[in-house]
Structure 1
Amino acid sequence: MTISQLLPSIIAVGVAALLSAGIIWAIRPWLLQYALARPNARSSHRVPTAQGAGVAVIAATLLVAGTIAGYAAVPDLSIPPAIFAAALFIAVVGFADDIRSIPVVPRLLLQGAAVAAVLFTASDDVRISAVCPLWIERGLLLLAGLWFVNLVNFMDGLDWMTVAEAVPVTGAMVLLGWFGDFPMAATIVAAALCGAMLGFAPFNRPVAKVFLGDVGSLPIGLLLGWCLLQLAYSQLFAAALLLPLYYLADATVTLLRRMIRREPFWAAHRSHFYQRATDNGFSVLRVVSEVFALNVGLAVLAIASTRAQSAVIDVISTTVGGLGVALVMYRFSRRRPATS
C-alpha cells in the first residue's frame, strides 16, 4: 500500500482522537449536571459519575469517517449510509436509556431494528456462505449482531475496559487494511473509532471522570460488529473470531451460567469474569492491563492467521487464542494471593 493510501487512516486516527477529546471536555460539565451514573448492583464505581461521553466518541467516529470517505481520493472507500444511520439511531436509543431506563423488550426491538437496517440493506451478493440460504444467513447474523451490540454494553463495566478492547481490535483492523486484507471502507471506520477511543481514554482512566454510557457502548458494538462482519465476508473467519474473543467468551459464558442457575440474566449483576476479578483482589488497573495485553496477543494471532492463509495456522492461532482467554478468565475467577 502506498503512502497516499496509508494517509487517510492515519489522519482518521489523529483527527478523531482530538475531536473526541475536545467534545468530551466541552460537554462534561453538562453531563455532570444532567447525566450522572449512580452506583447499582452492576457498578464498579462507588460515587455518582458523569456518563454520556459516548456522544463524543460516536460523533467523532462518524464525522471523521464520513468526511474522509466523501473527500479522500482513494478507491473502494464507500461506506454504506445504513452504517451511519444505524449507529446514530442506536446511539439515540442508548442515550434515552441512560437518561431514563427503557424496558428490556422495547430496547431489544429498537436495537434489533438498527442491526437489521445494516444487514438487510446490503447487497444479496454479499455473503458468508453461498450454500446457506440468504434468509437463514441474514437471520442468524441478526441474532449475532444483536448479541454483539449487547455484550459490548455488558462488558463496559470497568474504567478503561472498552478502551482495552476497542483499541487493539480496531488497531489490528487498520493494519489488516494496510496489508490489503481488509476493505478500505471498514479500515477507515476502524481507524476513526480507534482514534475516538484514544481521545476518550484520558477521561476514563481509573478512577474515571466520565463513562461512555449506553449512548457509546451500543453503537461501538454495532460498528465493531460491522467491521468484524467484513472480515467474515472476506472468509477471514479465524481473525473475525480471534479479535473479539475475550469479550465473546466472558459475556457468553457469564450469560449461560446465569441461565443455568435460573437467575434473571437481564438484570444488573457483577458476575462477569472481569467484575469477579476486582472482587477477588485484582486492582482495576491490573484487570484492564491484563485484558489489554490479552487483546494485543489476540490481534497478533489474528494478523498472523490472515497473512499465512493456511488452515493449519488458523487452527493453531485459534487454539492458542482460546487457551489464552481461558487462562485469563480462570485467573480472574480465583482469589488473588495476598502479597506480603
Structure 2
Amino acid sequence: MVLAPLAAVPLAAGLSAGLILALRPLLQRYALARPNARSSHTVPTPQGGGIAIVLAVLASVGAVLALRGAGLDALEALILAHATLALAILGAVDDIRPLPASLRLGVQAVVVAGLVMAVGGRLMPGVPVPVERAVAILAGIWFVNLVNFMDGLDWMTVAAFVPLTAALLLLGASGGLPFLPTLVAAALLGGLLGFAPFNRPVARLFLGDVGSLPLGLLGAWLLYRLAVAGGLAAAILLPLYYLADATLTLGRRLLRREPVWQAHRSHWYQRATDNGFPVIAVVGRVFLLNLALAGLAGATLLWPSWPVTVLACGAGIALVASVLHAFARRRTIG
C-alpha cells in the first residue's frame, strides 16, 4: 500500500522533466507567452509546461494501477483521467487562442460534476443531496479557476501544491486516505518536482492554462476526497492562502465593478512584487505558509475534536492574514 504511491513520486518526476526537455523546443516555437502590462515577466517565455505534468501524472497513476490492479478504483480513476485530459485540452486551446469565458465554465462544470458524482459520499448529512452536490460542484469550479488565477508568478504553483500533495501523501501512507487519492497526490507531487527546475525564478518555462486548469481539477478532487473521508477542516486549511487571496481579490473587484473575467494585477501576491518584494521572497513566504497550514491541517486529523479544529482554523486564518497584510504594504529595506 505505501510503497506503490511512493514509487510514483520519482517516476512522475522523471517523466515530467523528460517530457519538458523533449517538448520545450516546440513550446519555444509555438507557445510563447509575450509580456504585457499585467505580466510578471519581461521577456517572451514558452508556456505549456503543464502538459508534461499532466501526462506524467496520468502515466504514473496508470502504470501503478495496472501493476497493482485498479479494483474498485477503476471507474473513478477512468473518470478522473478523462476529466483531467478534457481540461488540459481546453487549456491548450485557450493558451493558443483565448476562448469565451462561457465555454470555459461550461466545460469545467461538466467535468467537475462528473467527478463529484463519481466520488459520492456525504459532507453534510442534514442537507439534501442535490443541494450538497450543487455546492460541491460550484466549489470545484471555483477551485479550478482560482488555481488558474494564482498561477501568475514563477514557482507560485509549486509553492502551493508541493506542501499540499506531500501532506496528502503522508496522510495516505499512514492510512488516513484511500489508495487512489494517495497515489494521485504522489504522482502530482512528482510531476511538480520535475517541473520545478524549469520554472524557478527567473522561469524558463511557464505552466500555462494547459497545466493550471487540470492541476486545479486534480487539487479540487483530492481535497474533496479528503473532506468526504472526514477531513473537511483539513481540506479547507491546506489551500487556505489560495482561497483567501483569490476570493478576496474577486470580491474586491466585484465591489469596484471591474470586469472580473479580464486579466489583472490585483492579487496580493502580484501587489507584493509591485511593492518591492523579490519573486523568490513572495513564493518563499507562500511556501512556508503552506507548510504551516499543512501542519495545522494535520493537527485536525490527529486530534479530531472541536477545540483543536477551532484553534487550528483560527491560527490558519491569522497566518494567512499576516502574509496578505505584509504583501499589501511597501517593502522597506534596511
TM-score range, shorter chain: over 0.9
Unpaired runs of at least 5, structure 2: none
Does the aligned pair in 2 maintain the 1:10–1:191 contact within 8 Å? yes
Q: How does 1:20-39 map to 2 (within 5 A)?
A: 20-39=16-35
Looking at structure 1, the residues matched to 37 and 177 of structure 2 have their Cα atoms a distance apart, in angstroms, of 40
Matched, 1:256 2:251: yes
State the Cα distance separating 1:75 from its structure 2 match. 7.7
Matched, 1:108 2:108: no
Q: How does 1:41-120 map to 2 (within 5 A)?
A: 41-72=37-68, 78=74, 79-120=76-117
SS of 2:36's partner is coil
Matched, 1:277 2:279: no
1:14-62 residue CA offsets vs partner (Å, 9 max, x unmatched): 1000100000011000000000111134310011110001110000011
State the Cα distance separating 1:134 from its structure 2 match. 1.2
TM-score, normalised with respect to structure 1: 0.95
Looking at structure 2, the residues matched to 255 and 219 of structure 1 have their Cα atoms a distance apart, in angstroms, of 21
Q: What is the total number of aligned residue pairs between the two structures?
A: 333
Report what 1:149 is aligned to: 144
SS of 2:46's partner is strand
- Give the letter aligned to residue 229 of structure 2: S
- Give the letter aligned to residue 308 of structure 1: W
Looking at structure 2, the residues matched to 61 and 43 of structure 1 have their Cα atoms a distance apart, in angstroms, of 28
Looking at structure 2, the residues matched to 42 and 111 of structure 1 have their Cα atoms a distance apart, in angstroms, of 25
1:103-161 residue CA offsets vs partner (Å, 9 max, x unmatched): 111111111111112123444xx221222111111111111111000000000000000
Q: How does 1:156-171 map to 2 (within 5 A)?
A: 156-171=151-166
Report what 1:139 is aligned to: 134
Looking at structure 2, the residues matched to 40 and 184 of structure 1 have their Cα atoms a distance apart, in angstroms, of 44
Does the aligned pair in 2 maintain the 1:76–1:185 contact within 8 Å? no
Looking at structure 2, the residues matched to 321 and 93 of structure 1 have their Cα atoms a distance apart, in angstroms, of 34
Looking at structure 1, the residues matched to 124 and 140 of structure 2 have their Cα atoms a distance apart, in angstroms, of 17
Looking at structure 2, the residues matched to 157 and 176 of structure 1 have their Cα atoms a distance apart, in angstroms, of 29
Report what 2:298 is aligned to: 303
Does the aligned pair in 2 maintain the 1:57–1:196 contact within 8 Å? yes
State the Cα distance separating 1:182 from its structure 2 match. 1.2
1:78-126 residue CA offsets vs partner (Å, 9 max, x unmatched): 5531111100001100000001100111111111111112123444xx2
Among candidates 310, 320, 324, match of residue 325 of structure 1: 320
- Give the letter aligned to residue 78 of structure 2: P
- Give the letter aligned to residue 274 of structure 2: D
Does the aligned pair in 1 maintain the 2:119–2:225 contact within 8 Å? no
Looking at structure 2, the residues matched to 102 and 249 of structure 1 have their Cα atoms a distance apart, in angstroms, of 27
SS of 2:2's partner is helix
% same residue: 53
Among candidates 9, 12, 15, match of residue 13 of structure 1: 9
Q: How does 1:212-227 map to 2 (within 5 A)?
A: 212-227=207-222
SS of 2:110's partner is helix
Looking at structure 2, the residues matched to 108 and 117 of structure 1 have their Cα atoms a distance apart, in angstroms, of 14
Q: How does 1:166-177 map to 2 (within 5 A)?
A: 166-177=161-172
Does the aligned pair in 1 maintain the 2:15–2:191 contact within 8 Å? yes
- Give the letter aligned to residue 251 of structure 1: A
Looking at structure 2, the residues matched to 76 and 277 of structure 1 have their Cα atoms a distance apart, in angstroms, of 46
SS of 1:211's partner is coil
State the Cα distance separating 1:77 from its structure 2 match. 5.4
Matched, 1:193 2:205: no
Say which is worse superposed, 68-77 or 187-196, in terms of deviation.
Answer: 68-77
Looking at structure 1, the residues matched to 116 and 37 of structure 2 have their Cα atoms a distance apart, in angstroms, of 34
Looking at structure 1, the residues matched to 172 and 72 of structure 2 have their Cα atoms a distance apart, in angstroms, of 12
Looking at structure 1, the residues matched to 144 and 36 of structure 2 have their Cα atoms a distance apart, in angstroms, of 21
Does the aligned pair in 2 maintain the 1:76–1:184 contact within 8 Å? no
SS of 1:159's partner is coil
1:171-200 residue CA offsets vs partner (Å, 9 max, x unmatched): 000011012111111000000000000000
Looking at structure 1, the residues matched to 302 and 146 of structure 2 have their Cα atoms a distance apart, in angstroms, of 29
1:228-268 residue CA offsets vs partner (Å, 9 max, x unmatched): 00111012111001000000000000000000011111111
Report what 1:238 is aligned to: 233
TM-score, normalised with respect to structure 2: 0.97
1:197-250 residue CA offsets vs partner (Å, 9 max, x unmatched): 000000001000000100000000000100000111012111001000000000
Looking at structure 2, the residues matched to 312 and 43 of structure 1 have their Cα atoms a distance apart, in angstroms, of 43
- Give the letter aligned to residue 167 of structure 1: V
Two-structure CA RMSD over aligned residues (Å):
1.3
